[in-house]
Structure 1
Amino acid sequence: MDILKPLCQGSLRRPVLLPLLLLLLPKYACEGKGIAASWFHMGTQPAEVFQVPEPQHLATATPVCKQISGLSKRQSKLCLMYQDHMTSVSRGAKMAIAECQWQFRHSRWNCSTVKDHSVFGPMLKIASRETAFTYAITAAGVVHAISRACHDGHLSSCGCSRHGRPRDLHSNWIWGGCSDNLEYGYKFTREFVDSRERRAVRKTARSIMNVHNNRAGRRAVLWKARVTCKCHGVSGSCTLMSCWKQLAPFREIGDFLKDKYDGATEVRLNKLGRLETRDPRFNSPTPNDLVYMDESPSYCNRNSSVGSLGTQGRQCNRTSQGLDGCNLLCCGRGYNTQKAVVRERCDCKFHWCCFVECKVCTKTVDMHTCK
């Protein structure tokens, strides 16, 4: 692959090699291109793709699973078996991509996506913290979406959870509301998301890393779920209290996994085929921790080979000392300042009953962008 870099970069100095390289290029893509398609692509597709057609239209409609690119052989089989689940898988992937972009909106790497079937581009080739987070958050998104779809009665093979009564629940409170089915969501996600890695003939360090981070994402959903209770009675007397297990808002799960990203553990594969910390001074990672093997690129400058868009032109905060501050985000290159007119709602008043009326105000602000 190294011999192809000069041609990919347009700097070939030995024309005699050109015919050979042109023969090789169809098989090996230039660095930064040809990233393997991923099921993540489901998160970028419109919902109509995953809708199972009505019986009267089955004969002429394109099968749902044939419209989905990036699936492994096992995932394609699961798609055929659980076609009604694919809408939820897509919704979970969409949530995950949106949450990733929210969590990293002020960082040099802002979870940017590309217009191909890999979704995250060449960045996925690097076993970095960022890759670890993308695997964890997408797995969490699918668990969340499938668990809620069971609760809402959208899937034929599951319903409300039958999770047992918590031991510490008040003895007078009733356990039996329609809980989100985290058990089913966890198991289906493990089978679907992990299938490419688990079914591989030869387990590599990278595949083991991916499976670990997928599991950490699934466990985050379980960890953040909570018991929710509601009072029943005349005029709020609360003569009866019923309780059930409920998913946490996905933002809380994203916050939890972002903390795990910040404290991710650098690992390597040992002789027993297990991940261990590179630095023996640190404890081995737990199943809830994110792990990585490669250092992250700087993301300061545009570099297509590692999927970095750079930070030039990104808006920054001149007064902030955090990641969104112009000093850090602009990587020491400085920033440009220009005036901008902002329109926003103001002087809002509530009218009985029941609407809010606002004026539109304009103001001039300073906007700072990285050089």
Structure 2
Amino acid sequence: MRWREAGPVVVVAVLQVVVVVVLPSLLQPAHAAWWFVSQLSASYTSTRIHCENIPGLVRRQRVLCERHPDAMLAVTEGATMGVQHCQKQFQDSRWNCSTIPRDASVFGRHVLRSTRESAFVYAINSAGVVQAITRACSRGAIMNCACDITKKGSHRDRMGQFTWGGCSDNIRHGTAFARRFIDAHERRQRDARALMNLHNNRAGRKAVRKQMRLECKCHGVSGACTVRTCWQTVASFGSTARWLKRKYDGATEVSMRPDGAGLIPRHGDHKAPRKTDLVYLEPSPDYCGEDSSSGFAGTGGRQCNRTSQGTDGCDLLCCGRGYDTQRRLITSKCECKFQWCCFVACKTCETWRDLHFCKPKQDPLPLH
């Protein structure tokens, strides 16, 4: 009888150990961020977001998540888009916006600091959510949201007069939901870091609005554009990401006002940042060496361009440590021709190329 009673107790103990091993990211709320949704698999988010299982959400965000499951699918899409375009914009830089699998901080703890890289992460993810929510509204994927009904009647631009028609993207709804969801965490506190994040979240939202464009259809004899019907649409997210990258390059270092009412330039000769500018509180590290405590892998082993003078050049990317050259056989498609009908036929070509990789940072030799 004693053996039979002890059996279930042993099984429960084993199961508890398994949970700790399989779900480490869910046990790190102190370093979690809402954009962890970008790391969820497509099968996990295909029908509904399981709000209670997402680390990093504050109470207000969980309430919105439960009430608006259709919008949360767009939030996931926007966060994923933000990560992808962040990595594209910084693919040749020392900090390349890399993510850490199964880590609730997503980018590593160094991005949870107050550097300009953190500013860009907050802005690009905020912009991604605005873009995704707005597009989802236009295609009817979100309840109680449709085309922008304020765009009606006649209007005039530099080309002349036109009539609003079609389905203008509802940027108002996309911006409003993104602000309610994303800013919820920062509005719980009013320290300098919270003010910085709120500012950069807003800059990301405004970037999408700034990049909106007018699309028109001409009506008239022989295609003459005597009458135009136009609608407003968000631009490709690539253009928004490039806009934010320029803002990153010109970001302003700020500090909190003495009365706590806002942020001011840390250096007196700098202008106050505009609502579309990015701001940060502390200088960035050089990102040269590996820092396991913050989740940055360093530039050791990264491929560099030996002839480039830019950020992808071996001198800058390798931080002066030098590089190793490896001769590799590269396979690629070549001599592609269009075949009737209807495909492109290509040959496979092989060429030997010299590739260059940054040397790892060497630890100092021990003293004897």
Q: TM-score range by the shorter chain?
A: 0.7 to 0.9
* 2:21 aligned partner: none
TM-score norm. by structure 2 comes to 0.85
* 2:70 aligned partner: 84
Report the Cα distance in structure 1 between the residues aligned to 2:84 and 2:242, rounded to whole angstroms: 13
For 2:346, give the aligned amino acid: C
What SS does the aligned partner of 2:100 have? coil
For 2:296, give the aligned amino acid: S
Q: How far is the alpha carbon of 1:34 from its aligned partner?
A: 7.0
Of the structure 1 ranges 43-52 and 223-232, higher mean CA displacement relative to structure 2 is found in 43-52
What SS does the aligned partner of 1:173 have? strand
Contact 1:35–1:121 (8 Å) recurs in 2: no
* 2:282 aligned partner: 294
Identity %: 49
Report the Cα distance in structure 1 between the residues aligned to 2:150 and 2:159, rounded to whole angstroms: 16
Structure 2 unmatched ranges of 5 or more: 1-27, 360-368
Report the Cα distance in structure 2 between the residues aligned to 1:169 and 1:179, rounded to whole angstroms: 19
Structure 1 consecutive aligned stretches of length 4 or more whose deviation exceeds 6 Å: none
* 1:48 aligned partner: 43
* 2:51 aligned partner: 65
For 1:328, give the aligned amino acid: L
Which of 236, 253, 256 lines up with 2:240 in the alignment? Answer: 253
Question: For residues 139 and 197 of structure 1, do their structure 2 counterparts lie closer, same or farther at Cα, with a shift above 3 Å needed?
Answer: same
Report the Cα distance in structure 2 between the residues aligned to 1:277 and 1:104, rounded to whole angstroms: 26
Question: For residues 258 and 195 of structure 1, do their structure 2 counterparts lie closer, same or farther at Cα, with a shift above 3 Å needed?
Answer: same
Which of 161, 169, 172 lines up with 1:180 in the alignment? Answer: 169
Which residues in structure 2 correspond to 1:190-205 (within 5 Å)? 190-198=179-187, 200=188, 202-205=189-192
Contact 2:78–2:129 (8 Å) recurs in 1: yes
- C-alpha offsets along residues 160-201 of structure 1, whole Å, 9 cap, x if unaligned? 112436542655532111011111000000000000111x1x
- C-alpha offsets along residues 103-125 of structure 1, whole Å, 9 cap, x if unaligned? 00000010011121110111133
Report the Cα distance in structure 1 between the residues aligned to 2:47 and 2:338, rounded to whole angstroms: 44
Report the Cα distance in structure 2 between the residues aligned to 1:329 and 1:166, rounded to whole angstroms: 50
Aligned pair count reads 328
Report the Cα distance in structure 2 between the residues aligned to 1:209 and 1:109, rounded to whole angstroms: 20
Report the Cα distance in structure 1 between the residues aligned to 2:219 and 2:340, rounded to whole angstroms: 29
- C-alpha offsets along residues 138-173 of structure 1, whole Å, 9 cap, x if unaligned? 000000000000000000120011243654265553
What SS does the aligned partner of 1:127 have? coil
For 1:49, give the aligned amino acid: Y
Report the Cα distance in structure 1 between the residues aligned to 2:203 and 2:150, rounded to whole angstroms: 21
TM-score norm. by structure 1 comes to 0.84
Structure 1 unmatched ranges of 5 or more: 1-32, 54-62
Contact 2:155–2:161 (8 Å) recurs in 1: no
- C-alpha offsets along residues 308-359 of structure 1, whole Å, 9 cap, x if unaligned? 2110000000000000000000000000001111111111111233221111
* 1:350 aligned partner: 338
What SS does the aligned partner of 1:368 have? strand
What SS does the aligned partner of 2:120 have? helix
